[in-house]
Amino acid sequence: MKLLSRVIFVLFILLGVLIAVSNRQPVELGLWPLPHVVVTPLYLVIVAVLLVGILAGLGLGWWAGRHHRRRAREHRNEAARLDRENARLRETVASHMPVPSPASPAAREQRAIERQSALVAPELLPPTARSLQA
């Protein structure tokens, strides 16, 4: 989609340049509230109108996307808050867990449970066990 929009954009620019180059005759340009009349080549008027149209389209597109940007910002802030809470809870759980000695039967049972859990749901492993598994 991005490539298609760029190709169409370039085609419109080329079309505008072709029209502008083929129209070199001078025109009188009078803007209503101003008393001055400006004599300018027609291609400058065409290029100016194309530029104003492109800028207006870009501005309207930006304005239309403001709701999506706001919602994305809210979701990003909520995800960051939940990540901080998750890290805090993991630290709390880790500080309250007894550390078994490596030779004890409880440690062997814990490692066996972790290996079985890794087979069933590897995403539920703690980060240290995941790094050992990889």
Distance, CA of 26 to CA of 34 (rounded, Å): 20
Does residue 10 sit within a domain? no
Per the structure, the complete domain to which residue 73 belongs is given by: 68-118
Same domain for 19 and 46? Answer: yes
Token pair in block for residue 115: 């290996």
Q: Is residue 26 part of a domain?
A: yes
pLDDT at 134: 53
The predicted model gives 44-49 an average pLDDT of 84
Tens of pLDDT, residue by residue over 61-87, are: 999 999 999 999 999 999 999 999 999
- Claim to verify: residue 108 and residue 93 sit in the same structural domain: yes
Cα(24)–Cα(18) distance, integer angstroms: 11
Dump pLDDT digits (tens) for 119-133. Answer: 776 666 666 655 555
Cα separation, 50 vs 47, in Å, equals 5
